[in-house]
Chains A and B, each alone.
Chain A
Amino acid sequence: MSAPVKLLYFAWLRARIGQVEEEVPLPPQVRDVAGLLEWLRGRGPRYAEALRDLSVIRVAVNQDYVGAEHPVRAGDEIAIFPPVTGG
């Protein structure tokens, strides 16, 4: 069975993907952030383009910054965005 996660996109990632947020069922082979990004890139040209250069992508799981090996689980809130530019 696939389990849903909530995905949030910000700044130019939101603009390129064309969505603010979405609920997606996680395929069973997706276990961590790296796997999630890889899978998302295969969902269409907008995703592939937006997520092409991972050096300008940051990920937060449940509102904490995480690395590529961080696990993703059903019910997680996963935000994907460029490096921050506040202040």
Chain B
Amino acid sequence: MKSLFKKSTYILPAAMLLFACGGKETKKTTAAVEAKTSKTKTLEIEKPQLTFGFIKLTDMAPLAIAKEKGFFEDEGLFVSVEAQSNWKNILDRVIDGQLDGSHMLAGQPIAAGAGFGRQAKLVTTFSMDLNGNAITVSNDVWSKMKSHVPKDKDGKPVHPIKAEALKPVITEYKNSGKAFKMGMVFPVSTHNYEIRYWLAAAGINPGMYTKENVQGQIDAEVLLSVTPPPQMPATLEAGTIHGYCVGEPWNQQAVFKGIGVPVVTNYDIWKNNPEKVFVMTQKFIDENPNTAIAVTKALIRAGKWLDEPTNRKEAVKILSMSQYVGAPEAVLANSMTGTFEFEKGDKRDMPDFNVFYKYNATYPFYSDGIWFLTQMRRWGQIPDAKTADWYASTIKDIYRPDIWKKAAALLVAEGNIPATDIPMTDGYKPATADFIDGTIYDAKDPLGYINSFKIGNKDKK
């Protein structure tokens, strides 16, 4: 009897162990009536349960808003949104089908279809935002750089600050035998091309890629290396890098923590440049065409909601939740509410720093995609010369405005967006000179554009 009692006390922990192993949630089925009040007409959804990935950056906002404001559920989609650790991880998980779609760098689906890095058929149906990045340097670099920056009559630095001011600092580092290192978030990220553009516009060589050497540091005066966005401030603080180019809130975080000073935003490098995109695989949109359209619809509505100025405060609140960006509200608000703080205390108006809907920001323009291809060729990530036709045909497989148009047309029919929000375009924006160095970019002449740069590969027409 005693031994039986004793035995039973041993079984208890063992039973607990078993419970911990097999503790799956059981679904209760009680009757409930679904109430519908939206004017959305739900499509025949092939796959209602979806998982999307993102990196902790403010430009993931359309995903958070579409979920929190119920735009996904309106379309009959049940979406989980999960933070991922880095861009490489996101790319792999989308290609391997663990994620149905994701927030991605505009360059990622393009590189995956153009022969740099892991190859896969990825498509972009929705461009998530314009602008939203900045280049930050450490306090030490800023103190050395500051004397070379022109000042206005109040003694404040004149913006945009060009990389010419950085040149003497790089020389100083070189003379004292130290390498000048800067961080960017991924080899095919907008940031890599922006920081290269900014440096090269001042005659600083950021280093070339070749077929054999994909480090991108050949002949480099500034060594660029990859650091995931949320780790940028910590890496800068540790002194591993002397500056970085990254999306928000990680520049404002540096100001906030007093570890660095943002010197230039990508709005100043290229006015209204394309940034993040929403990516699904070709396989997914072939198998689930209606789902792809429904997802695009929800995201367009989220973009529209985000660009109502009155909604930005609420957006900041949502983004500061720990499962989304998680940074303090004050940090997020600095860039999300129409301002940008450079040096501590030097807060300037920047109404277009984050654009989610205005200027047809959500439409996937071919010309935006081709710009990334020209930069990949310029820096040698695409090792061989290509024809102008190659640029046009490659981008048509990756950027899919046809799906965007279907989604937008449905939204117009439902009365969720005005018909004027659908641009009349062949997918090419007109030629523009809105760059920090004034170079003219015409997407219909990619080779002429590549050849117009002092630093970088040149191709015969």
Do they bind each other? no
| Interface residue ranges, B against A (CB under 8 Å) | none
